[in-house]
Amino acid sequence: MQVLKATVAEISPLTEYVSKVVLTPEQDAEFAAGHYLQLVLGEKDKRAFSIASSPSKKNALELHIGASGADSYAMQALDHLKAAHTSQTQVDLEVGLGVSQVRPEQARPLVLLAGGTGFSYVKSMADHLAEINYDQPVLFYWGVKEESALYAKAEMEAWANSRANFQFIPVVEHASEAWMGHTGYVHQAVMKDIVSLEPYSVYMAGRFDMIGIVRDDFITHGAQREFMFADAFAFIK
Ligand SMILES: Cc1cc2nc3c(=O)[nH]c(=O)nc-3n(C[C@H](O)[C@H](O)[C@H](O)COP(=O)(O)OP(=O)(O)OC[C@H]3O[C@@H](n4cnc5c(N)ncnc54)[C@H](O)[C@@H]3O)c2cc1C
């Protein structure tokens, strides 16, 4: 874990509820794809956010923060970042946390599974896997409630088009009639597409209730527990 100070270079909206934040650390940040950082608000108050950018970008850390409700965990963090941006003061970070970073050395086909802003966690991995020319199949599933939440759809389609072994599959829970793709819960789309998850490593992020359900359903669908990765596992039973 690395303790860093950073300035807030940018805060901009990705959707009505999700903000992109770019932090400029005062020294190069060291982390692996899939790690998270903590924004330090107080000695005992540290807020976890996945790093959306690839580890090759050591001097610009991108976060995607989903915040609604004035006093929510994420909104308080966003308010702290906005105040630092306005006053051009530094924020305190702990970088390179988590145990669910991508493990390309295992050379297995991958399912990257994101629910909502869990997208941030798998986006870093997707970019990293492209940079290292990962040659196994990579299936990137992104589940959202409404189509309007797919703020990086065009970018991910371009990512998938860049390699024959990459696929991007957006899944909309409550889709409009015009939507041509998968609907419902994102992990159910995975189970429809893939007969058995036995050969796959699965990396996932989303709401805690989602992660518990996905873990259990995927194990029933053949996934091996030692090849399933989510930092949320540390927070749930
Ligand atoms: C280490 C760590 C890092 C984190 N990093 C971030 C971060 O960078 N940014 C951030 O905003 N939050 C972060 N969080 C908080 C948490 O991951 C988010 O609250 C979560 O991703 C928010 O999802 P959402 O509200 O966007 O999903 P929603 O919009 O509620 O759901 C999106 C999709 O997820 C699936 N889903 C949701 N609920 C269920 C369910 N019960 N069963 C099956 N599928 C379901 C569905 O496909 C649904 O369409 C982090 C938490 C931890 C522990």
DSSP 119-177: HHHHHHHHHHHHHTT--S-EEEEEEESSGGG-TTHHHHHHHHHT-TTEEEEEEESS--T
Tell the residue number behind the tokens 């270079």, with chain if given.
Answer: 9
Residue 30 CA to ligand 1 center (angstroms) comes to 25
Residue 5 CA to ligand 1 center (angstroms) comes to 27
Q: How confident is the model at residue 41 (pLDDT cuts 50, 70, 90)?
A: very high
Protein residue closest via CA to atom 46 of ligand 1? 185
Tell the residue number behind the tokens 């530094």, with chain if given.
Answer: 90
* Residue 82 contacts residue 21 (beta carbons within 8 Å): no
Protein residue closest via CA to atom 48 of ligand 1? 144
Q: How far apart are CA 205 and CA 209, in angstroms?
A: 11
Per-residue pLDDT tens digits for 90-126: 999 999 999 999 999 999 999 999 999 999 999 999 9
Q: Which of 116, 114, 104 shows the shortest CA–CA distance to 139? A: 114
Ligand 1 close to Cβ of residue 229 (< 6 A): no
Residue 47 neighbours by CB distance under 10 Å: 17
In sign, the C-alpha dihedral spanning 207, 210, 215, 216 is positive
Select from 3.90.1150.10, 2.40.30.10, 3.40.50.720, 1.10.8.60 the CATH code of 2-97: 2.40.30.10
Ligand 1 close to Cβ of residue 54 (< 6 A): no
* Residue 222 contacts residue 196 (beta carbons within 8 Å): yes
Residue of 1, 23, 210 to test ligand 1 pocket, by largest number of atoms within 8 Å of CB: 210
CATH number of 104-235: 3.40.50.80
Q: Which of 126, 182, 181, 117 shows the shortest CA–CA distance to 151? A: 117
Q: How far apart are CA 145 and CA 8, in angstroms?
A: 29
Residue 87 CA to ligand 1 center (angstroms) comes to 31
Ligand 1 close to Cβ of residue 34 (< 6 A): no
Q: Specify the DSSP class assigned to residue 234.
A: G
Q: How far apart are CA 39 and CA 34, in angstroms?
A: 16
Cα torsion through 193, 36, 19, 117, rounded to 10:
20
Protein residue closest via CA to atom 39 of ligand 1? 210
Give, for 190, the enclosing helix (H) or strand (E).
helix 186-193
Protein residue closest via CA to atom 41 of ligand 1? 210
Residue 4 CA to ligand 1 center (angstroms) comes to 26
Provide the token pair at 236: 């749930």
Residue of 16, 117, 204, 231 to test ligand 1 pocket, by largest number of atoms within 8 Å of CB: 117
pLDDT at 68: 84
pLDDT at 70: 72
* Residue 169 contacts residue 179 (beta carbons within 8 Å): no
Q: How confident is the model at residue 237 (pLDDT cuts 50, 70, 90)?
A: confident
Residue 167 neighbours by CB distance under 10 Å: 15
pLDDT at 211: 97
Q: Which of 92, 113, 91, 93 shows the shortest CA–CA distance to 102? A: 113
Ligand 1 close to Cβ of residue 174 (< 6 A): no
Per-residue pLDDT tens digits for 132-157: 999 999 999 999 999 999 999 999 99
Ligand 1 close to Cβ of residue 205 (< 6 A): yes
Beta strands 166-172; 182-183: pairing state: parallel
Domain boundaries, the chain: 2-97, 104-235
